[in-house]
A and B are shown apart, each in its own frame.
Chain A
Amino acid sequence: MDRRLSGWRGAAVGVALAFVGPGPAAWAQRSGPFFVSVQVAGGTGAVAVGGGYWLANRRLEPELLVGLLPGRLAGGRSLPIVSLKATYAPKGFGLGHSDWRVSPLTAGGLVSYTFGPNLYLSSRKTGRYPTKNYYWWSSALRLHAFVGPRVVQTAAGGWPRRRILGAEIGTTDLYLVSWLTNHTLRLPEILTLGFTAKAGGTPAYGPMPGPGNTAP
């Protein structure tokens, strides 16, 4: 019961943080480069929503996502998934004189925690097993790494000023362990695919670099 409560508390914090991003346009104007995001697949649930803050001249995107694996996919109860994710996106190149840019190779990683009836941080927590590391891995905590392309649109003003669509090809820690310990497990067998959409507010510190509008 306690575990379940803590799960919902985590989810509530996530949703609250996610809504810090959009706010009224004026508020977003003041509050800096926040963004909201929606992710489909890629280890964070069927759909995950959340938000984050652009760092390092909008190249680094730390974010928090709250997702759900619906009962139909989980084979029973729906499983909430909370993920901390960071993406590094190089500036890429502009597409002609449009307000679109392409970043062919972004890279990132996430750590996710899935809440479920038989999912534990460590097998030790279950109290079922005679030895400390009966199962050496955590069933609830997953590490995921990915690369992928994205397109970015930067509008002249308003909110959201920056819109991102991206795809992410990655893998999960346990898949990687399986791949590293077997020669015949092919790379495509361990890969996963996900999609992300992000929309962000206007930074408070001046115009964004873009076509015909280079940063000072």
Chain B
Amino acid sequence: MTTDAAGASSQRVLWMTFFTRGWGVACLFTLLLTSCHLLEFSPNQVAATGGARQLTAQNLARLRQQPRAAGGDTVRFVFIGDTQRFYDETAEFVRSVNQQRGIDFVLVGGDISDFGLGREMQWVHERLRRLRMPYLTVIGNHDQVGNGRRAYQAVFGPLNYSFEYGGTRFVMVDTNGREVGCNGTVPDLGWLRQELADTTRRTVVACHVPPNDNDFDPQLMLGYAAVLAQHPRLAVHLAAHIHRYTAGHPFRDAVPYITTYSLHKHRYHVVSVWGRRAFSLQTVDYGPAS
């Protein structure tokens, strides 16, 4: 046998070994090549490889294009809070909301994620994107843990933002004061005052931590309520965080403060606003609370 033949034979053995004993390896490497979206540098990276980004802007664009779902001057939307680690319930929630008629959009009142990780936000989006209507979010305290604030900014967008829809101004404000050590900067009252300067339009303010909660910066509580109370067309103030429904006038002014359920409760609210500052609240129950 010549050296060349020996070399060729050894090559053949190599390939045969690979095909007979290495099929598992081959399968694994194929799996690797087809799964580049799994490539993750750190759980603290802001968006998954190839994952969704700037969802607020995308959903607002979609909202602007879609025809109004509710009749007359009524704007009707679903309000729910705290999707945090309730993925099973989120899927059920989507199925229920998709059966509703006349809903313009869905508003998630913060704590999209449980651990403030970008990938959790992708998981929630993966479920909420199956909604027939656009959805919008406001940042919660859990979304700010660790590098979460950056993740939220990358996956969803600004922490404070506002938009107009159906003659109504929606103001979404970050009220998670405890996450910055209650240092007097969150919520940003200057920004809020500016957003509420136009008193000619019907307005809804939504946030995560309600102002009468422990986790709201106590030094800003009365100032916040005062800014809201000055607005003659503020229909309702919406919050989540406490995972249950409450309604009232905690500051003894004209502003109704509502908190909504978490996904865990298998209940959500349908909010309708119309007229000068009228609103109504309907509770939808889609299964036993888990």
A→B interface (CB under 8 Å)? 41-46, 67, 69, 73-76, 79, 81, 93-98, 102, 104-105, 112, 114, 116, 118-119, 123, 126-130, 135, 137, 139-140, 142, 148-149, 167, 169, 172, 174-175, 177-178, 181-185, 188-189, 191-194
CB within 8 Å: A-B pair count = 153
Question: Which of B26-49 touch A at CB < 8 Å?
Answer: 28-29, 31-32, 35-36, 38-46
| Interface contact B87-A178, CB-CB below 8 Å | yes
Q: Does B230 contact A (CB under 8 A)?
A: no
Bound form: Cα–Cα A167–B33 in Å: 11
Nearest-Cβ distance from residue A72 to partner chain B, whole angstroms: 9
Q: Does B102 contact A (CB under 8 A)?
A: no
| Interface contact A175-B119, CB-CB below 8 Å | yes
Q: Does B196 contact A (CB under 8 A)?
A: no
Nearest-Cβ distance from residue B110 to partner chain A, whole angstroms: 15
Chain A residues whose CB sits within 8 angstroms of the CB of B172 once the complex forms: none
Bound form: Cα–Cα A135–B123 in Å: 21
| Interface contact A119-B87, CB-CB below 8 Å | no
| Interface contact A178-B85, CB-CB below 8 Å | yes
Q: Does B115 contact A (CB under 8 A)?
A: yes
Chain B residues whose CB sits within 8 angstroms of the CB of A75 once the complex forms: 46, 147, 150-151, 153-154
The 7 lowest CB-CB distance pairs between A and B, nearest first, are A75-B150, A96-B14, A139-B146, A75-B46, A193-B38, A192-B40, A96-B13
CB closest chain-A residue, reference B38: A193
Chain A residues whose CB sits within 8 angstroms of the CB of B38 once the complex forms: 169, 188, 191-193
Q: Does B208 contact A (CB under 8 A)?
A: no
Chain B residues whose CB sits within 8 angstroms of the CB of A69 once the complex forms: 41-42, 44-45
Bound form: Cα–Cα A96–B29 in Å: 19
Q: Does B167 contact A (CB under 8 A)?
A: no
Q: Among the listed B28, B46, B144, which residue makes an inter-chain contact with A148, where contact means beta carbons less than 8 Å apart?
A: B28
Bound form: Cα–Cα A31–B213 in Å: 61
| Interface contact A185-B87, CB-CB below 8 Å | yes
CB closest chain-A residue, reference B91: A184
Nearest-Cβ distance from residue B89 to partner chain A, whole angstroms: 9
Bound form: Cα–Cα A67–B43 in Å: 13
Bound form: Cα–Cα A126–B149 in Å: 16
Nearest-Cβ distance from residue A215 to partner chain B, whole angstroms: 21
Q: Does B25 contact A (CB under 8 A)?
A: yes
| Interface contact A139-B116, CB-CB below 8 Å | yes
Chain A residues whose CB sits within 8 angstroms of the CB of B120 once the complex forms: 178
Chain B residues whose CB sits within 8 angstroms of the CB of A45 once the complex forms: 41-42
Q: Does B253 contact A (CB under 8 A)?
A: no
Q: Among the listed A97, A169, A181, which residue makes an inter-chain contact with B13, where contact means beta carbons less than 8 Å apart?
A: A97
| Interface contact A118-B14, CB-CB below 8 Å | no
| Interface contact B87-A174, CB-CB below 8 Å | no
| Interface contact B39-A194, CB-CB below 8 Å | yes
Chain B residues whose CB sits within 8 angstroms of the CB of A192 once the complex forms: 38-40
| Interface contact A74-B147, CB-CB below 8 Å | yes
16 additional A-B pairs beyond A139-B116, A188-B38, A192-B38, beta carbons within 8 Å, are A41-B39, A69-B45, A73-B42, A73-B46, A74-B42, A74-B44, A75-B147, A75-B151, A76-B150, A81-B42, A97-B10, A98-B10, A116-B146, A118-B147, A139-B146, A174-B114
Bound form: Cα–Cα A112–B179 in Å: 23
Bound form: Cα–Cα A102–B18 in Å: 9
| Interface contact B126-A189, CB-CB below 8 Å | yes
Q: Does B164 contact A (CB under 8 A)?
A: no
CB closest chain-B residue, reference A178: B85
